Chain A
Amino acid sequence: MTRSTPAWAEGGDPRYLLGTDNQGRDVLSAILYGSRISLAVGFVSVVLAMAIGIVVGLVSGYFGGMVDAFFMRIADVMLSFPTILVALLISGIARGALPREMHDSAALIVLVFAITITTWVQYARTVRSSTMVERSREYVYAAQLVGRRPFAILFSHILPNVMGPVLVIATINLAMAILIEATLSFLGVGMPPTNPSLGTLIRVGNEYLFSGVWWVVIFPSLTLVALVLAVNLLGDWLRDALNPKLR
């Protein structure tokens, strides 16, 4: 018997607080490593999506015209489908473009890529509409009059003024990115079992469910729920803290 129940249950081993799986691997350590990957994917994809969204939003909002029309039609199409479907499609295409033997090693990059491409739209939309408002403010005219170049105006003048809502979206999206990552991994198109995230752990643990080994799947699931709840609450708090009107 290499498998053991959680430490407090009958047959538990005090060295393995949350028990071990069929191969005798400690569930708690797996959760710690898995959370690290989940958080890493979440953070990196949020930062990337934010960067892309900000640039596209600033450019669309400031210059308008064809560029704007082009990006906003893409945004319309993407927003009309459920996020999870878009993420699945993109990761499917990305995997298709890569040779099979690279699927596992590139999983992290594919995930980040898929989540980034799925979520940049919201930032772009928000930044675009704020930019269109800021564009006609006096301080922008002043900067134009003293001859600053458009990109200098965009990044050193307009950007700081549109960052508030962007940060709020970012916190909400961190929870969403973690959820998308977990879902893709759970569906088997995310992190491989050799380098598992929380979603992968739940997927793998799910296979043991019928042998009564509930702790291998339940603890990663609870961790995921707690993580998402925590990030959501953090987002709420940050939103209130950043918004002086709510105080």
Chain B
Amino acid sequence: MIAFILRRLIQSVLVMLAVALIAFSMFSFIGDPVNSMLPENASTEERQALREQLGLDQPVTVQFTRFVTGAVQGEFGISYRNKRPVSEMIAERLPATLELVLAAAVFALLLGVPMGIYAALHPRGILSNLLNVISLIGISVPTFVTGILLILVFSVWLNWLPSFGRGETVQIGWWSTGFLTVSGLKSLVLPAVMLGLFQVTLIMRLVRAEMMEVLRSDFVRFARARGLTNRAVNFGHALGNTLMPVITIVGLQLGSMIAFAIITETVFQWPGMGLLFIQAVSFADIPVMSAYLVLVALVFVAINMIVDLLYFAIDPRLSVQA
């Protein structure tokens, strides 16, 4: 078990180094950042001073080492556009994105898993067919169109829910949460639904496919042949084995939801990292972009590890082998 964790840790560090290299090499794709940070008429001395301050006069290997050591401490330099430390800007935006993704994931799971189970247990039911058709259409509609439709119906026409921002937030230490106020929760509904809706269809189809597979397996048939109740067979025996692979996919989807939050945050002007990133892309603000990339990669790697560890906790076959 410990050997396994160590091996995974080393792998993760290697992946992160590769991502750091990509993030770092982004800097060399664009022209001299000094030009984009200083006004046109800046003097040569000013330019030189800034260059030294940014460490651009050093050899590439030294620059990369500095980049990595900085990144490990959460330092990604100064934003070209805002002239503020990137770490500060990200820390401000991080809670908004994580709360959005969390709410969307909970929404997707609460809706997707029961829908998938239902569809698997009643494969010929009318409701199951309806769910299948809806999920097929759902996959063809771009998420931002979903968001716009949600705003049009629930904000413009019905005027039930706010369509932009986070509402009032409460500060807990450095973390600002929207979970504790009514306006914060109301603001969260539409963005979370938009971000979660695509995942709902995905999770539903996944749970349905997995569960139908498990229901056909020998141990489920044997459980039925022993006269166990449908409840015990479907939920005691089949569901547990269904959720094993679902955990993996949902875990991995959590990472891509952080990326998809970029679109949601743009539609709803949600003040999260995605909005920060999209602004950075349109202004070619490389430090912010590279910080975002490293952070998202870190989340991906972390989620991967957690999913693997969860497997150890759940599956008795693994915990004994190690």
Contact = CB atoms under 8 A, between A and B. Distances in A.
B260 A188 contact: no
A132 B156 CA distance: 56
B282 A221 contact: no
B307 interface: no
Residues of A in contact with B, size category: 35 or more
Interface stretch (A20-28, A43-51, A87-95, A152-160): A87-95
A217 interface: yes
B140 interface: yes
B14 to A, nearest CB: 11
B156 A214 contact: yes
B30 to A, nearest CB: 4
B189 interface: no
Contacts of A210: 155-156, 163
Interface string B255-286: 11001101100110000000001101110101
B145 A225 contact: yes
A84 B262 contact: yes
Contact of B263 (A92, A187, A214): A187
Given A84-B262, A187-B262, A189-B281, A218 B152 contact: yes
A187 B266 contact: yes
A228 B266 CA distance: 22
A111 to B, nearest CB: 13
A205 to B, nearest CB: 8
A102 to B, nearest CB: 12
A182 interface: yes
A96 B140 contact: no
A240 to B, nearest CB: 16
Contacts, number: 104
Given A80-B300, A81-B259, A85-B262, A188 B148 contact: no
B109 interface: no
A202 B284 contact: no
B281 A91 contact: yes
A182 B142 contact: yes
B185 interface: no
A183 B142 contact: yes
Contact of A82 (B19, B151, B260): B260
A217 B137 CA distance: 20
Contacts of B309: none
Nearest to A95: B284
A56 interface: no
Contacts of B289: 89, 92-93
B278 A88 contact: yes
B300 A179 contact: no
Interface in A188-247: 188-189, 202, 206, 209-210, 212, 214, 217-218, 221, 224-225, 228-229, 232
Contacts of A89: 26, 281, 289, 293
B29 A96 contact: yes
A77 interface: yes
A186 interface: yes
Given A91-B281, A187-B262, A214-B156, A202 B140 contact: no
Interface of A: 77, 80-82, 84-85, 88-89, 91-93, 95-97, 179, 182-183, 186-189, 202, 206, 209-210, 212, 214, 217-218, 221, 224-225, 228-229, 232
Interface of B: 18-19, 22, 26, 29-31, 137, 140-142, 144-145, 148-149, 151-152, 155-156, 163, 255-256, 259-260, 262-263, 266-267, 277-278, 280-282, 284, 286, 289, 293, 296-297, 300
